[in-house]
Structure 1
């Protein structure tokens, strides 16, 4: 098993555990509520119909389902991409429970390989998912696909972890951060500005975060600089 396979296996175990032990929008985990920035951006589309949304790394629908609820009477569509079967199974259940099954369109795929049709989407969302592609080269390819796949005047919202550290809570020992792409913050921001040059940057925020996760029954402190980058596509791309 190479490093990428090992990381993905560990991430699968971690997410499977979360999806089994915590229900969507249940207090006590990061599944408790959607990302505020993502939901606030939906106001841009108020009054508009046939809105096409792409959620890359959708999980069980933490953001997709609230987005779909806002679009269910406006003939909207939310394409939800994830490579975890367990996530998509839960997404199907939750989308039925919340009455948005007809709007949610799950697709099982590695987002590093996923083909995004040109100028297809009004809103593209990727929350803590792009750093899980297999290489920096693939990461940049995905950014270009997102840029190409966004409609004119469409919006892209990316939340990406950078400079990730993992520390054993008991011993204080630094651990190998199980993140496929772990780039310096300034370097990553420069890359975003390069790919999305000539776009209108709506929001750019760097937020240092730390929180506790459980990995293989061990308590791990995860530290990261979380980058939020929101931009609107202009006439020149």
Structure 2
């Protein structure tokens, strides 16, 4: 088993455990509520019909469901991409529960191999997912596709982890961080911003976070610098 295969197997176990033991929008886990940065962007599309959204690494719908609810009345669609069958199956169930099944379109794919159509989306979100592609080459590819796949005046919203460390809470031993791409915060920001020259910057911030997770039945403290980067495409700027 390669290191990437091992990491993905461990991540699958962790996420399957969360999806089986915690319900969407109920207190007790990070599934409790959507990301505020994402929901705060939805007003930008209040006057637009046929809004099309891409959620990369959608999980069970923490962000996809609220987005779908917001654009349902305007013939909107949310394309939801994830690698885990467990996530997509739960998402389909939740989409029915929240009466947005006609808005949600699911696709199973590894983000590193996913193809985004050019000039297709009004909003593309990638929340804690880009760091799970298999290499920096794959990371570069998907960010470039996100930029190319966005319509004029469309928005890209990225939240990505950097400088991730994991510590065994029982022994205080530093563990191998199970993250496919684990760059320094400075390098990750520099990389992301390089793909959005000329875009309007809405938000760029770094938050140092730490929280307990369960790996193979043991408590592990995960520390990360979480980068939030939100930009809007404005082609007119390229010609001024």
TM-score, length basis structure 2? 0.98
Provide structure 2 residue ranges, at least 5 long, that are not aligned to the other structure. Answer: none
Structure 2 partner of 1:134: 134
Q: How much has 1:48 moved relative to structure 2?
A: 1.5
Q: CA RMSD in A?
A: 0.9
Structure 2 partner of 1:55: 55
Structure 1 partner of 2:45: 45
Matched, 1:34 2:34: yes
Distance 2:35 2:159 in 1: 10
Distance 2:47 2:197 in 1: 29
Q: Deviations over 1:57-90 (max 9, x none)?
A: 0000000000000111110000000010000000
Distance 1:91 1:211 in 2: 25
Distance 1:82 1:96 in 2: 18
Q: Between Structure 1 and Structure 2, how many residues are aligned?
A: 237
Structure 1 partner of 2:207: 207
Distance 1:123 1:219 in 2: 36
Q: Deviations over 1:13-66 (max 9, x none)?
A: 000000000111010000000000000011111122100000000000000000
Q: How much has 1:228 moved relative to structure 2?
A: 0.1
Distance 1:7 1:116 in 2: 25
Provide structure 1 residue ranges, at least 5 long, that are not aligned to the other structure. Answer: none
For residues 178-217 of structure 1, the aligned pairs below 5 Å read 178-217=178-217
Distance 1:80 1:171 in 2: 39
Distance 1:91 1:191 in 2: 31
TM-score, length basis structure 1? 0.99
SS state of the match for residue 124, structure 2?
A: strand
Ranges of 4+ aligned residues in structure 1 off by more than 4 Å: none
Structure 1 range deviating more: 53-62 or 185-194: 185-194
